[in-house]
Amino acid sequence: MIQLERISKWHMQGGRPVFILKDINMTVAEGEFISIMGPSGSGKSTLLNVIGMLDVPNEGGYNFMGNDVFKMKEKQRSALYKHHIGFVFQAYHLIDELTVYENIETPLLYQDVKGSERKAIVADMLDKFQIVGKKDLFPSQLSGGQQQLVGIARALIAKPKLLLADEPTGNLNSKQGEEIMGLFKELNNEGVTIIQVTHSEKNAEYGSRIINLLDGRIQM
């Protein structure tokens, strides 16, 4: 599904390159659940963003489901991630002005899904996450765990093949964290490929594979 080849990213500081990512080679098969670990500043989030096509490295190649990502135009690339990738953030990043229902519905709007169909899909999702009762609330009226549930629901609404999560439990207490991780496991069993960035050994254990990052390099 994903092949990264010799991905490097740096910025210049005092005339010398400082590497954020260095020679990353990585392959992810469909159905995997990967945890990326490493200390602060090791490049985890950057790597995730590169995979999510939100960030571009200075060097290297990226093949996503048979597409050479870096050779694609901006528009094709966003169409690609729009259809195949869902994002979950540590800070949830729900839209404050929209209700739970509307937050979840928004990706479908952007994909021009018809009204009736949209309704059915969102209703299913609310059902599945057991947040039907909260659908008319605004994010500020929810607890952190609930907000993250909505965030995940929103990420999954367009049936992506790949779910990218940047410290999804970072702002949650341990009980809420466990629930989210359980959910990830479940989703993975249903066939969604997941890559998460995490600090926690425990959460990393939910994955099928762990990639350790230190100073921008993968530790073997």
Partner 1 sequence: MIKNYLKTALRNINRYKGFSGINIVSLSIALTGCLIIGLFVWDELQYDKFIKGGENIYRFYTKRTDNTGVTSTASVPPMFATYVQQQYPEVENTNRIIMLNSKMLVENGDVKTYEEKWIATEPSFFNFFPLKFLKGEPNTSLSDPNSIVITEDFAKTFFGSQDPIGKVIKINKSDVVVKGVLANLPPHFHLDFKFIMPLSALGLPKERMQNWQWQQFFTYIKVKPGTNIQQLQNKFQLAVKKEADPKNKERGFTFSPYLQALKDIHLTSSDFIYDNAKRGNADYVKALTIIAIFVLIIAIFNFINLATARSFRRAKEIGVRKVIGADRRQLVLQFTSESVLLAMASIIISVIAALLILPSLNRFTEKNISFPFFSNPLLALSILLAGIVIGILAGIYPALFMSGFQPIKVLKGLKPGAGNTGFSSSLRKGLVIVQFALSALLIVCTTIVYRQITFLHNKDLGFNKDQVIYFDVRGDVEKHPETFKQEILRTPGVVSATAGYGLPGDVLAGDEIIVPGKEGDKTQSVNLFIVDHDYIKTMGLQLVKGRDFSRNFATDTSEAFIINETAVRELGFKTPQNAVGQPLAWNKWEKDSLNPVKKGKIIGVVKDFHYKSLHEKVSAAVLQIYSPVIAKMAVKVKAADLPKTIAFIKSAWNKFSPDYPLDYKFLDENFAIMYKAEDKLSSLLWIFTVMAIFVGCMGLFGLAAFSAEQRTKEIGIRKVLGASVMNIVTMLSKNFLKPVFIASVIAFPVAWWAMNKWLEDFPYRVNISWWIFAVAGIAALLIALITVSFQAIKAALSNPVKNLRAE
How many CA atoms are closer than 13 Å to the CA of 39, on its beta-carbon side?
A: 3
Task: Map the footprint of partner 1 across residues 118-147, applying CB under 8 A.
Answer: none
- 82 sits near partner 1 (criterion: CB under 8 A): yes
Rule CB under 8 A: is residue 73 a binding residue for partner 1? no
Residue closer to partner 1 (CB basis): 87 or 184: 87
Distances (CA, A) of 116 to 101, 102, 124, 156: 14, 14, 13, 18
DSSP code of residue 132:
G
Residues 109 and 51: their CA atoms lie apart, in Å, by: 24
In the region spanning residues 166 to 185, those forming contacts with partner 1, defined by CB under 8 A, are none
Q: Are 185 and 17 in contact (CB under 8 A)?
A: no
Q: Does 109 bind partner 1 (CB under 8 A)?
A: yes
Token pair of 199, please?
A: 């600090």
Binding window for partner 1 (CB under 8 A); candidates: 31-39, 48-56, 127-135, 175-183: 48-56
Query: Cα(122)–Cα(220) distance, rounded to whole angstroms?
Result: 42
Among 58, 76, 78, 173, binds partner 1 (CB under 8 A): 78
If binding is defined by CB under 8 A, does position 102 make contact with partner 1?
A: yes
Tell me which of 3, 63, 67, 106 binds partner 1, using CB under 8 A: 106
From candidates 49, 193, 196, 198, binder to partner 1 by CB under 8 A: 49
What Å distances lie between residue 68 and 27, 48, 64, 96, 186, CA to CA? 14, 17, 7, 36, 30
Contacts of 205 (CB under 8 A, 6+ apart): 35
Segment interacting with partner 1 (CB under 8 A) among 2-10, 21-29, 64-72, 98-106:
98-106
Binder to partner 1 among 43, 57, 60, 107 (CB under 8 A)? 107
Which spans of this chain sit near partner 1 (rule: CB under 8 A)?
49, 52, 54-55, 75, 78-79, 81-82, 86-87, 89, 93-98, 102, 105-107, 109-112, 154-155, 158
